[in-house]
Amino acid sequence: GVPVIWFCYTSVICQLDIIYRTISAKETAHLDIQPQGSKQAEAFVNAFLKNSLSRLSAEQIQTHLHRKAVILEHVLKRRKKQKRRKAKCLSAKERRELRIFELKPEEQRYELFLPLHELWKQYIRDLCNGFKPDMQTQTIQTKLMKADFHGAIVTVVKSKCPSYVGATGIILQEMKHIFKIITEENKLKVIPKQASIFSVEIDGFVSYIYGSKFQLRSSERSAKKFKGKGSIDL
């Protein structure tokens, strides 16, 4: 058992008659502690003060006691906040220098990306809730305009550059102004969106992409609101 000292979080004022008085039997029963004599209480208080006020000498502590007041301060140690380091992303120049988006010649094989195309078809089916006969064409086209086309098989049906017309392949990479596709002949082609019209087919539904109006990254396109503007030409 120990003598009880009443204190608050900031300071405590203890008077000598309270510090050294004997706790009554009623108080010890209520606090569930063992009673002690005044000498034991005095020894404990002196040891407690010496430990709490280590920067003061024994004489200074006694001086404070004779003044009938002792202030005990509880100092909280402030923890230093550790600054979180933000992950540094590679710049566009660094990505080009590292060639992280370039395929090695042995990886430029059409058959390797057929599973990606199957995943894309399932993604579009889920996005459009299946292609039902009673679905409105406008609803499907609106969802396709915001969809991700990595893995889609596209065909260039019209272009101001005749050499691009008829090119068909799986989209491996979509950038703001180009599609990178891999053809069945295992050739990697870069097709500009500008002045080109692409077709994409899934479950018998054919949609057309007007590249000149599609010059956005897929992440930007998902948040863009498209408006119908009638017929569009090259």
Confirm if 178 and 164 have CB atoms less than 8 A apart. Answer: no
For the cut 80, the answer to whether the pLDDT of residue 206 exceeds it is yes
Whether 114 and 218 map to the same domain: the answer is yes
Same domain, 138 and 210: yes
Q: How buried is 198 (Cβ within 10 angstroms: 0-12 exposed, 13-18 middle, 19+ buried)?
A: buried
CATH number at residue 123: 2.30.30.210
Convert the pLDDT of each residue in 99-143 to its tens digit: 777 788 888 899 999 999 999 999 998 888 877 777 777 778 888
User: Do 215 and 123 share a structural domain?
Assistant: yes
| Domain assignment of residue 97, yes or no | no
Residue 51 to residue 172: CA distance in whole angstroms? 72
Instruction: Quote the pTM value.
Output: 0.57
Q: Is residue 42 part of a domain?
A: yes
Q: Is there a domain that residue 40 lies in? A: yes
Nearest one of 147, 145, 106 to 126, comparing CA atoms: 147
- Which secondary-structure segment (H or E) carries 182? strand 178-182
In a domain, 81, yes or no: no
Residue labelled with tokens 């550059």? 161
Per-residue pLDDT tens digits for 82-102: 777 777 777 878 877 777 777
In a domain, 137, yes or no: yes
> Strand order in 153-159's β-sheet?
188-192, 178-182, 168-174, 153-159, 196-202, 205-210
Q: Are residues 55 and 123 in the same domain?
A: no
Q: Is residue 73 part of a domain?
A: no
For residues 198 and 117, membership in a common domain is answered with: yes
Inform me whether the pLDDT recorded for 186 exceeds 80.
yes
Domain with 188, as residue range(s), is: 109-223
Does one domain contain both 59 and 121?
Answer: no
Task: Tell me: do 47 and 137 sit in the same domain.
Answer: no
Does the pLDDT of residue 228 top 70, yes or no? no
Residue 133: what are its φ and ψ, rounded to 5°? -60, -30
Could you count the other beta carbons within 10 Å of the beta carbon of residue 186?
Answer: 13
Residue scoring higher pLDDT (30 or 1):
30
Whether 204 is in a domain gets the answer yes
Q: How many domains does the chain have?
A: 2
20: buried, middle or exposed (CB in 10 Å: 19+, 13-18, 0-12)? middle
Average pLDDT over residues 64-93: 67
Is residue 98 in some structural domain? no
